[in-house]
Structure 1
Amino acid sequence: MATPAFDSTVLTRRGVLAAAAGSLLLAGCGPQGQRPDAGGNSSAPGDQNLVVGASLELSGRGAALAVAQRRALEIAAETLNRSGIPVGNLMRSVRLEIRDNGSDLEVAARHAAEMTRAGAHALVGGVLGDTATALAAAAQRLKTPFLALGFSDRIVLPLSDRTFSFKLTPDATDMARRMVDLLESQRVRRVVLLAEDGPHGDSGVRALKDALDRSGVDLARTVRLPGGGQSFRAAAERAVAADPDGVVVWATAPDSGTAARELRRAGHRGALFFDAGAVVDDTLRGANAKAVEGAYAVHPACLGGSALTATSGALVARRDFDYRYTQKHGSSVGFAPYAADALQLLAAAARKATSLDRGRLRAFLQTQMTEGIAGGYAFTADRHGGMEADSLGVYQVSQGGWARYA
C-alpha cells in the first residue's frame, strides 16, 4: 500500500503542525536571563520548578513500554533545563517525581493523589490502558492535568468526565482505519481479531468492527485474550479454528509477542497484524522472533524516518532526541517516545499560561497544536486525544527489526 509523498507546496493540517513545531520542541531554547541549573533547581526564590509527577509501570507487565518512557522523560527534562522555561517573569526548570506503580491500577491512582498533595503541577504516565484510565479518573477528582501514555479511548472519554486528561497515543479509530486499508492491500478477506483484556482491547474491538463494516474484509471471529497472566493457548486455538487469512492482535507488549507465539503454535501460517502497542523491542526478541517475522504494525511514523521537511524544527528535535537516547542507552527508542512529547506540551502550556496553576495549565493544554517527536497533536476543548491520524505509518518485521512498509 503506497502512501502519498509529502508535498511541501500544499498547506495541509500536518504542514501547519510542522510549522508550529519550533515553538514546542525547541522550547528549551528560551530567552536569555535568569536560568535554572542543569540539575533542575531554579535560581528564583523558593521552589520555582514545574513539578511533574510520573506514575509508570517500571515493573510488572507494562515494563516493556514504561522503561523507555522513563528514559524519554529524563532526556526531555534535561533538554528543557539547559535553558529553562520562561513562565511569566521567571525562568522555571522541570523537576520529575517518578514512581513505579508495578502495573497496578490501584497503586497508580494512589500515586496521583500522593504526588498532587506533594505539589505536582501535572501528572504523566500509565502506559497500559487500565492504569492510564485509573490515573485519568484520579486526576479528574484532583483537578490535576494528566497526560496519558497508554492506549484506550476511555482515558479521555466521555470528555465531560475527563476534562483534565489528555492522551498522546493514537486513537483506536485511526489505527483501525489504517489497519483495514492494510488488510485490503494484502488481499486479506477473512480476519480474526485477538484483543487483549481491558480497556485497550475494548477500544480495539469497537474500532476495528466499525472499520471492517465499511470494507470488503470479513470479521470471522473476535477472541479476547485472558487477563491475570493466564495462558493464551486456548484463545489462540479458537482464533485459528476460524480459518482466517490473517489475525489482528490488538494488545500491548509483552502480550502481543506472546499471542503471536501461541498463534503460530496453534497452526496459523497466515499474516499477523499488530496495533501500535506491540511496537517495542520486546516483541522481536527471543522466542518471539520467529513468530513475528513478516508481521505488520500500524504505528506513528517516527519509527522509521519522517515525512517532515529536513529543515523543520520538529525533525531537528526528533534527531536530537534520538541521538541523546542512543548515547545514553546504547539503542534507539524508535517506538514512539510519547513521554518526551508530554513534557514538552506541559512546558509550552506553562509558558503560554504564564503560570503553573493547574487550572490554567489544563486550559492551555487544550489549545496545543503542534508536531512532536512521536507525531502530530491538535488538542481542543472538544478533543483531548490522541495523535493525529496522518502521523501513522505501516511497518513490517524484517530480519528482526521494524522496517517502514508504507
Structure 2
Amino acid sequence: MATPAFDSSVLTRRGVLAAAAGSLLLAGCGQQSDDGRTGDNSAPNSHELVIGASLELTGKGAALGVLQQRAMEITVEELNLTGIPVGNLRRTVRVEFRDNRSDPQEAARQATELTRRTQVHALVGGTSTENSMAIVEVAQKLQVPFVSLAAGDDIVLPLAQRTYIYKLTPDAGDVARRMARLIESLGIRRVAVLAAAGLHGDSGVQAVRSALRDVDVALVRTVRLPASGRSFTSVARRTTAGEPDGIIVWGTAPDSGAAARELRRAGHRGPIFFDPGAVAEDTLSGANAAAVEGAYAVHPSCLAASTLTATTTAELARRDFTYRYIQRHGSFSGFAPYGSDAVQLLAAAARSASSVDRGRLRAYLQTQVTEGIAGGYAFAPIRHGGMERDSLAVYVVSRAAWSRYS
C-alpha cells in the first residue's frame, strides 16, 4: 500500500506560506554534528527517528487519545516497511507511547522524561488543550519540537514564545466562520452556545461571537459546561431557556454527545452544531444516537473520504489509511488522522533536514506545506497552526453516521 504522500500543489494560502518558509528556513538551526546531535539537545546517534507521544489513553480524554495511538501505530508500521531517508542513513521510526491519564501534570512530567531521559527527537500528543499546554511549557524550555493534537489557538500563540510548538487542528476562527455561514443558510436567527470549560471553550466562544456578528445572527446566551464533567442537566436547562433556534456545542468527546443528550431532554428540538472535537465514536454511541441524529459538525474533509472517486495522491492516501484503520479497528473516526499526520510531518522534516537534530527538525517543520490525511497544512515561520480553512467541510449525522452535507 502506498504511504500517505503530501501534495503541495494546492494554490491557496499554502503557496504563499511555502515561499515565506523557504526564505527563513535555517533561522535558529543548531550546529549539526555528524551524528545529528547538537550538544545535549538531541538524541544519541541511532538509526531511528524517535518520537515521544504523551496521550490520553485512559481517563476522560481517552475517547480521543486512543484514536491517536491507533493512527500513529498504523503509520509507523507503513513507514518502516522501507524506512525514511535521512542524510546518508535510512531510519526507522519508533514511538515511545505514554498514558498521561488525562492529567496535565502527568503530561508535563512525561514530556520532561521523554526529552531528557529517553532523549526523543520530537514530542507529539495532548488531545486536550490543557494537556497540550502543559507539554508546551516543557517543549519550549527544553527546545524539542512538539506537534500538538489539541484544539485551542493559544497553543501556538504568541509565536515568539512558541518557536518549537506546532498545532494540527483547525483554528477556532476558521471553524466558527464556516459554522456561522451554515447557520445563516438554514435561516436560523437566534443561537445559544454551550461551551467546554477551559482553553478550548474559551477559543470557541470568542470565535463564535465574532463569526455570528458577521452574518447578523443573534447570540442569545453563552453557557459553560462544568469543569468537573459531572451532570450537564442544569447547564442544558440554562442553555435552552428562551428557546433558541439552534445551539452550538463547542467541546470534545465524550462531553459533546452527553451535552446533546441533555439538551434534548431539556426540550431543545432545533438543530445542534458541533465543532471538530465532537467527532469520535462516542458521540454517535447508543446512548447519544437519538439526540445527535440530524446534528451538524464542521470538520476537516477526511471524515467522509470516498473509496470510489479518489484520484489525487492525497485522496488515495486518505482512502488507504481509512481502509487500514477500519480493517484493524472495525470503524473509522475522523479525529484519528491527526496522529498519522503528526508522524508524517516529522518524518518529512527529517528527510528535508537530512538530520534528526531537534533544532533542524523545528526549522524544517515550518517549511511543511502539505496535504495530509486530515487535511491541508501550511506551516511557516509566521504560522505554526497549520490546518487550512479550505480543508473544512460540513457533515450531518444521518442514521448514526457522519454524512457530507451539501
Is this contact kept in 2: 1:300–1:336, CA < 8 A? no
Amino acid across the alignment from 1:136: V
Deviations 1:152-205 (A, max 9, x none): 111111111111111001110000000000100111100001000011000001
Q: Give the residue type in structure 1 aligned to 2:225.
A: L
Partner of 1:107: 106
The whole-number CA distance in structure 1 between the counterparts of 2:45 and 2:140 is 28
Provide the aligned length of Structure 1 versus Structure 2.
Answer: 371
Partner Cα distance (1:15, 1:141) in 2: 29
Q: What does 1:364-375 correspond to in 2, within 5 Å?
A: 364-375=364-375
Q: Deviations over 1:300-329 (max 9, x none)?
A: 011112699843221221111112112211
The 3 A distance-change label for structure 1 pair 170 and 46 is closer
The question of whether the paired residues in 1 share the 8 Å contact of 2:250 and 2:275 is answered with: yes
Alpha-carbon distance, 1:336 to partner: 4.7
Return the alpha-carbon distance in structure 2 between the equivalents of residues 184 and 65 of structure 1.
Answer: 30
Aligned to 1:387, the other structure's residue is in SS state coil
Matching residue of 1:31: none
Letter in 1 for 2:91: R
Matched residues, percent identical? 62
Distance 1:193 1:255 in 2: 14
Query: Which aligned pairs between 1:183-222 and structure 2 lie closer than 5 A?
Result: 183-222=183-222
Q: Which residue is 1:345 aligned to?
A: 345
Please tell me whether residue 66 in structure 1 is matched to residue 65 in structure 2.
yes
Report the Cα offset of residue 349 of structure 1.
0.3
Matched to 1:176, the amino acid is A
Structure 1 CA distance for aligned equivalents of residues 248 and 231 of structure 2: 18
d(CA) in 1 for partners of 2:109 and 2:308? 40
Offset, 1:348 = 0.5
Q: Kindly report structure 1 stretches of 4+ aligned residues shifted beyond 4 Å.
A: 14-17, 306-309
CA RMSD of aligned residues (A): 2.0
Q: Secondary structure at the match of 2:230?
A: coil
1:120 matched to 2:120: yes
> Is the CA contact (8 Å cut-off) linking 1:61 and 1:103 kept in structure 2?
yes
Structure 1 unaligned regions, length at least 5:
1-9, 18-44
Please show how residues 154-165 of structure 1 align to structure 2 within 5 Å.
154-165=154-165
Provide TM-score, normalisation by structure 2: 0.88
Alignment of 1:277-296 (within 5 A): 277-296=277-296
Check the 8 A contact 1:303/1:336 in 2, yes or no. no
User: Aligned letter for 1:51?
Assistant: V
User: Which residue is equivalent to 1:356?
Assistant: 356
Structure-2 separation of matches of 1:11 and 1:281: 31
Q: Is the 8 Å Cα contact of residues 221 and 242 (structure 1) preserved in structure 2?
A: no
Which one scores higher on RCO, CA 8 angstroms, separation ≥ 6? 2
What is the CA-CA distance between 1:16 and the residue it aligns to?
Answer: 6.2
Q: For residues 107 and 250 of structure 1, what CA distance do their matches in structure 2 show?
A: 25
Q: Work out whether residues 252 and 277 of structure 2, in 8 Å CA contact, stay in contact via their aligned partners in 1.
A: yes
Structure 1 contact 301–375 (Cα < 8 Å) conserved: yes
1:331 counterpart residue number: 331
Distance 2:168 2:262 in 1: 30
Tell me if structure 2 keeps the 8 A contact 1:52–1:97.
Answer: yes
Partner amino acid for 2:293?
E
CA distance in 2, matches of 1:124, 1:306: 28
For the 8 Å contact 2:279–2:333, the answer to whether it is kept is no
The aligned counterpart of 1:182 is 182
Q: 2:363 is aligned with what amino acid?
A: A
Q: Is the 8 A contact 1:140 1:164 kept in 2?
A: yes
Q: Distance in 2 between matches of 1:185 and 1:112?
A: 45
SS, match of residue 303 in structure 1? helix
CA distance in 1, matches of 2:354, 2:141: 24
Letter in 1 for 2:322: D
What is the alpha-carbon distance in structure 2 between the residues aligned to residue 243 and residue 15 of structure 1?
A: 42
